[in-house]
Amino acid sequence: MNNSKNNDMDSNEGNKMPGGSNLRIYIIGVAVFIIGLSIGFGVGRSGRGVGTSGEPLKQSAAPTAISLANGDNYMLIKDQAAGSKVTVTDLKVQDNTWVAIYEDYNGKPRYIYGARLFAAGEQHGIDVKLIKPTVPSATYYAMFHVDNGDRAFDWQQDKVITDDAGKNLIFTFHTTSAPASGSI
């Protein structure tokens, strides 16, 4: 994908939406498609997560991917082995942004296990090191916090990115069995 904001996916100038670009529509469309697949594969299987609106989502016990987009901010995170890091498959952020990993408490994010600052742009296959390791067969959340410029994570000062309805973007994932010894 081209990072240029001026490069639209559709060369037909008459199809552009006022005030927006076709690239943004494309990114949101891809995100909606992936979310739909994730929800569709999870119907009737065990597993539970929370979507951006706070309603429970059904997910499969097998590794799945949850991705969401808000404007030019995007994250893809998959179910993964428990351990001392969380791998973010794909990430695109408009500003210097922290990705914070939260534990689940009664279906909502609670304590932060770790956070990492990412420069504006796209990144792939990056790890967030944790101060407390995740445990097998548990639910966790990843959330964006825009850095306030001091390059020090502060969950109260670094604003959470929200969706168009003003709700926090929450990326849900699950842990599987612990990794083989020596790989933590």
Check: CB of residue 101 under 8 Å from CB of residue 144: no
Residue 27 has a pLDDT of 64
14 has a pLDDT exceeding 70: no
CA atoms in the 13 A half-sphere facing the CB of 174: 21
Strand partners of residue 124: 90
The whole-number pLDDT of residue 164 equals: 78
The pLDDT value recorded for residue 168 is: 86
Q: For the chain, what is the mean pLDDT?
A: 73
Domain coordinates in residue numbering, the chain = 19-176
CA–CA separation, 128 vs 137, rounded Å?
19
pLDDT in tens, 107-150: 999 999 999 999 999 999 999 999 999 999 999 999 999 999 89
